[in-house]
Amino acid sequence: MIAKLTDIEALEAKGFDAAYPQKSPWDILRHQAETRPDKVAIRYLVDASDPARDEVVTYGDFARRIMGAAKLFRGLGVTPNASVAILAQHTPSAQTAIWGAQIAGRACPINPMLKPDHIAGLLDAANAKVAVIMGVNGELDYWSALVPALREAGVTIPLLACDADAQSPGADGVFEEMIQTASGKDVQPEGDETALAAFYHTGGTTGAPKLVQHMRLNEAHVARSCAIMHDLTERDVVVNGFPLFHVAGAFVYGLSTLSAGGTLIVPGRLGMRNAAFMGSIWQQVERYGVTILGVVPTILASLKATPIDADISSLRWLLTGGSPLPTELADAVEKHTSVPVRNILGMTECAGAIAVEPVHGTRTPMSCGLRMPFSEVAVFGETEGDADPSKPLGPDETGIIALRGPNVAAGYSDPARNIGTFLDGGWLVSGDLGMIDNEGRLFVTGRKKDVIIRGAHNIDPQMIEDALLAHPDVLTAAAVGMPDAYAGELPVVFAEMRQGSQAGEAELIDFLRDRIEDPVALPKRIGTVDEMPLTPVGKIFKPTLRAEAIRWAVGQAAEALGVEAEIAVDEKLSTRVMVPGESVDAMKDRLAGMPIKLSVEARS
């Protein structure tokens, strides 16, 4: 049982092989199939209102499907140096495709909502020989528009339909049928635990695709580490509605549960956006004996507002990550549910986990928890603005967070992108500012790397800025995250316009609509400034803009409540909100979930 750093050190003293006997995802899944073949691995809710329609997949059946997929992919030309692209929702078929791809070659899960040209670039960069795409259905039909667009973009590889409710025009086969009929000898994975297992795209950038190279051990280490830190067992029933192109869905909550022999509850194609599931979330907990909910802070906020109308005594933990966890939100959810909330910090470049709050330890406000076993987390000073491993900082000193260990990926597929992120000595620079206390707990205090986190999606602000700078009236542009009680952050942009420009906010947003690759990165608001705030060396000083974005967010909340608010944001972005005394509680509730340090007080 892990509760504090000394427990991790005791585990490490037993040796790596004792703690991590399986060193690849397939080793984990094959072991479970041999150990508990009839245990339910995945319960997929086809219709959240009708349990009779659930698709139930045992560990034995799951392993057979995965090997069938591996045989299929090998027959279609997938070798250890090639990949299978998976553009689908979180379903048993998508899970099957990912793990089967890693046996035959490499997996490349892709967000199907990206623009077709960007997807085509990812397919090429990953050397994809086949793609598995969710086929025509009544809930999320991106096949009908995406497949013709990919063909028009020059994609010629086989495109297989999965999870379809109807015929999918242009399909080169139906994935579920093809894995059932795949024949031949079992495929043996080539190479050891350091072989490349998957490409995961990150950042939402335009231009050349940015692919993280996961080794098999990266994914297995994170899965098993999260199982250890979260005390997962074969008795656990874990709701995982994250997409599989996100490391949380695949490893932090997915493979971790399977590594412990537990059961995954997957709430249909829509995941946690499944209104029927979320509208009856507590009844679902009672029905399936759910022990753990894996969610982002935005979902925590909705749980706080959902009356408990069922017996949820089976629920052990509420696990969250993907964006900062406001202390007020965690407190409110724990008070509402009587279920502990625990946080996690991760990134795609380390398969989803840097630090985890162990469930048997205490929740510490603003802490992300303890490092993964057999890994190192450090805080470095800077040299010319970059993290410098020769300048390690001590407890409670703030600097740039970095890590190294079995969870750190093998860099980007384009080595030129490694500069400043993957350093000599095995260090991965997270891009966050933070500190480590004397108990080994990690705290994120800010950002060095300029990224906007909307829900669990990382958005590269430069991508938005570059797109907006293409407008003839825009002189300079700067994108930042505006705090949001539901999404964590929303992208907003500040623009300095040419003198005499008549372009308004609506025109600028329409201009960006076709130029932003990822729909979640489309700015929610564009403000104009007479002059950009600059540093002494002439760089845009974004803290000033973030302060204004905070004022926007708090001002919108006050307007929605119909109250007048005085808003003060200091140089460290701590925010003080003054409202009439009778509105203090309502304002606190309205702002709960925003990832900012704030106080709400009665106006004298």
User: Is the domain of 596 the same as that of 504?
Assistant: yes
Instruction: For strands 399-404 and 428-436, give the pairing.
Output: antiparallel
Structural domain contains residue 118: yes
Structural domain contains residue 446: no
Residue 176 to residue 160: CA distance in whole angstroms:
9
pTM for the complete prediction?
0.84
Domain that holds residue 576: 461-602
User: Is the domain of 200 the same as that of 331?
Assistant: yes
CATH of the domain at 91: 3.40.50.12780
Residue 436 to residue 501: CA distance in whole angstroms:
49
Q: Say which amino acid occupies 602.
A: A
Among candidates 157, 163, 11, which has minimal Cα distance to 93? 163
User: Is the domain of 253 the same as that of 390?
Assistant: yes
User: Is the domain of 70 the same as that of 175?
Assistant: yes
Structural domain contains residue 314: yes
pLDDT tens profile 47-73: 999 999 999 999 999 999 999 999 999
Structural domain contains residue 433: no
User: Is the domain of 402 the same as that of 468?
Assistant: no
Domain boundary at 382, 410, 426, which? 426
Domain boundary at 426, 449, 472, which? 426
User: Is the domain of 420 the same as that of 498?
Assistant: no
Residue 143 to residue 161: CA distance in whole angstroms:
8
Q: What six digits make up the tokens of 236?
A: 């656990």
CB atoms near residue 232 (< 10 Å): 26
Query: Mean per-residue pLDDT for 5-11?
Result: 98
Structural domain contains residue 449: no
Give 59-87 as a DSSP string. Answer: HHHHHHHHHHHHHHHHHTT--TT-EEEEE
User: Is the domain of 342 the same as that of 475?
Assistant: no
User: Is the domain of 149 the same as that of 260?
Assistant: yes
Among candidates 482, 465, 537, 565, which has minimal Cα distance to 206? 465
Query: Mean per-residue pLDDT for 224-228?
Result: 98
Output DSSP code: residue 426. Answer: G
pLDDT of residue 204: 45
Number of domains in the chain: 2
pLDDT tens profile 363-395: 998 899 999 999 999 999 998 888 999 999 999
User: Is the domain of 416 the same as that of 491?
Assistant: no
Q: Which residues contact residue 325 at a Cβ distance below 8 angstroms, ignoring those fewer than 6 apart?
A: 297, 300, 341, 343, 595
Mean pLDDT for the chain overall: 92
CATH of the domain at 548: 3.30.300.30
User: Is the domain of 105 the same as that of 206?
Assistant: yes
Taken in order 301, 561, 546, 532, is the CA torsion positive or negative? positive
Structural domain contains residue 250: yes
Structural domain contains residue 452: no
User: Is the domain of 483 the same as that of 364?
Assistant: no
pLDDT at 207 over 60: no
pLDDT at 285 over 80: yes
Q: Which residues contact residue 487 at a Cβ distance below 8 angstroms, ignoring those fewer than 6 apart?
A: 298, 454, 455
Structural domain contains residue 151: yes
Residue 378 to residue 187: CA distance in whole angstroms:
40
Domain boundary at 407, 426, 445, which? 426
User: Is the domain of 52 the same as that of 187?
Assistant: yes
Q: Are 600 and 326 in contact (CB under 8 A)?
A: no
pLDDT tens profile 480-530: 999 998 888 899 999 988 888 889 999 999 999 988 878 888 999 999 998
